[in-house]
Chains A and B, each alone.
Chain A
Amino acid sequence: MNPLAIIGRTLIALTREAGAMSLFAWRGVSAALSPPWYWSQLGAQFLRIGYFSLPVVGLTAVFTGAALALNIYTGGARFNAEQFVPNIVVLGITRELGPVLASLMLAGRVSAAMAAEIGAMRVTEQIDALETLSTDPFRFLVGPRILAAVITVPMLVLVADIIGVLGGWAVSTQILDFNGATYIRNTVDFVTQWDVISGLIKAATFGFIIALMGCYHGYRSKRGAQGVGRATTNAVVSAAILIFAANYVLTTLFV
């Protein structure tokens, strides 16, 4: 086959996919920001994305903070800079690891669940049924999920920031012989508002990506168990890749 034809076909397919995703995102955001709002749906999504993700996010954060403290201590010891553990832990957690790792866990948990649920609704004609019942599926399904994710993921990341720092504190005080009060004072003195806020801006962006990928791939799910399975996989993989890409772009803007 002509290699130019392959390249052309791939580019056209990529452009078509990007266009479809952009239109989907536009309809989803429009639905999220304009009435009518389905409050019961929004409340349910707050619970599913936010409250029920707390254990996963908390455990991820505590172990990340703890491992980070150990690594920074080991690396710092080579330059006699062990005392910087609290400073670098809080910087790493708030600006980078808190939002990225929490969002990656949520991509696995939330994007997959959204894609599977909406995909199953697609193949069992429940989405068609919504339309015949004079209810816009974008307002009923997509809008509440996007809105809930954009609001709750930063809240989860804020919790992850606190738990991550506490993970570092626990290891530093229990294993590395740091003084607990000094550790906390160094952390608080060092961290700036922008460190936290830039992480939360990242989290809101990642929340949008998580919900968008879950809804988009679920909504376009093909028939059958295989179709729903593929939609779920695509949602998680594309959300994870887009989170990494968006993280790089945002980091370049924020440094």
Chain B
Amino acid sequence: MSDMPETSETPKISIRGVHKSFGSNHVLQGVDLEVCAGRSMVVIGGSGTGKSVLLKCILGLITPDSGSIIIDGKPVTHLSERKRAKVMAKFGMLFQGGALFDSLSVWENVAFRLLYADGLGRKAAKERAEAALNQVNLGAEVMNLSPAELSGGMQKRVGLARAIVAKPEILFFDEPTTGLDPITADVIDNLIRRQVTALGATAVSITHDMGSVRKIADDVAMIYEGKIIWRGPVKDVDNSGNDYVQQFVTGSEDGPIKVLAR
């Protein structure tokens, strides 16, 4: 991540005219967004504006009704199981609740991709898992614990270790600080920033925590009523000239966004 300006090279992720509806609920109504390689894009927006659906569309967990998602110049919207798995190998994802597997120990969770997708031996996978846990400030003492024995902040860190262990090209973060106290949230933000920088990865995060935005974003986009209504560098977010962004950033009840209407 850096303050590099955008270049004319092929974007790492390109989202073009993506629509997604669930019954009569039109969640995404033509989302257009590009994320350049090595940049950290944070998508902000209120609850129910389509942030999570957008992230799941990029990940391929939800198929858009129309529009295209392009990764490294190749459309990935409709792929076979095998090709989808290859694209997924580029991704690392930190879920909102951690989404750690209850039936596996902490180290098996972290090493899951290495063990089950890459076919690495258990000894080598365990060493890689320990190294990844060290990178998120967790020691060997948690390796054999069950996820249920960890605090919320520790679960997030294990989730982050699982996301980075295979050195992905693109990292996704879904509400990384939700449900955490401010100090733990700051720890997670710093870890995300550090790991994304260390990997030289492209990152896409969704959050409504402005503290988190200022820590981890290079660029910010705001989604409202299923469309991207503003995007720009993080330094401009406080002076965006957009009433919706301004209201969201200041957290004011007064403005064009009506909470009761959502």
- Chain A residues at the B interface, C-beta cutoff of 8 Å: 38, 120-121, 124-126, 128-129, 131-136, 140
B74-91, CB < 8 A from A: 81, 85-86, 88-89, 91
Give B206 Cβ to nearest chain A Cβ, in Å: 14
Q: Which residue of B56, B60, B61, B116 has the most chain A CB atoms within 10 A of its CB atom?
A: B116
Closest to B89 in A: A134
Q: How many residues of B contact A (CB 8 A)?
A: 25
Since A132-B59, A133-B116, A140-B116 are in contact, a sample of 6 more A-B pairs with Cβ atoms closer than 8 Å, ordered by chain A residue number, is A120-B102, A126-B99, A128-B59, A128-B99, A133-B112, A133-B113
Residue B30 at the chain A interface, CB threshold 8 Å: no
Given contacts A133-B116, A133-B117, A136-B85, contact A125 B60 (CB under 8 A): no
Chain A residues, CB < 8 A from B200: none
| Interface of B: prevailing SS | mixed
Contact indicator A125/B95 (Cβ below 8 Å) = yes
Question: Which chain B residue has the least Cβ–Cβ distance from A126?
Answer: B99
Q: B113 near A134 (CB under 8 angstroms)?
A: yes
Q: Could you write out 16 A-B pairs with CB less than 8 Å apart?
A: A124-B99, A125-B96, A125-B97, A128-B61, A129-B100, A129-B101, A132-B93, A132-B172, A133-B88, A133-B116, A133-B117, A134-B117, A135-B112, A135-B113, A135-B117, A140-B116
Contacts of A38 in B (CB 8 A): 116
Shortest C-beta distance, B99 to chain A (Å), equals: 4
What A residues does B61 contact at CB under 8 A? 128, 131-132
Chain A residues in 8 Å Cβ range of B102:
120-121, 126
The proximity string for B residues 20-58 relative to A, scoring 1 for CB distances below 8 Å and 0 otherwise, is 000000000000000000000000000000000000100
Measured between beta carbons, the chain A residues less than 8 angstroms from B85 are 134-136
Contact B101 A126, beta carbon cutoff 8 Å: yes
Q: Whole-angstrom distance from the CB of A228 to the nearest CB of chain B?
A: 13
Docked CA distance A230–B85 (Å): 32
Q: Is the CB of A124 within 8 A of B117?
A: no
Q: What residues of B have a CB within 8 angstroms of the CB of A135 in the complex?
A: 85, 112-113, 116-117
> Which chain A residues border B172 with CB–CB below 8 Å?
132
Q: Are B60 and A131 in contact (CB under 8 A)?
A: yes
A204: shortest Cβ distance to chain B, in Å?
26
Given contacts A134-B89, A136-B81, A136-B85, contact A129 B99 (CB under 8 A): yes
Q: How many Å from the CB of A76 to the closest CB on chain B? A: 51
Closest CB of chain B to A52's CB: distance in Å?
A: 15
CA distance A242 to B92 in the complex (A): 41
In the A-B complex, the 7 residue pairs with the smallest Cβ-Cβ separation, listed nearest first, are A134-B117, A129-B99, A125-B99, A132-B93, A134-B88, A134-B85, A133-B113
Check if A132 sits within 8 Å of B91, measured CB to CB: yes
Chain B residues with Cβ below 8 Å from A128 are 56, 59, 61, 95, 99
User: Interface readout for B97-122 with A: 1 if CB under 8 Å, 0 if not?
Assistant: 10111100000000011001100000
Q: Which residues of B contact A132 (CB under 8 A)?
A: 59, 61, 88, 91-93, 172
- Assess the B95–A129 pair: CB atoms within 8 A: yes
Minimum CB–CB distance for B17 against chain A, Å: 24
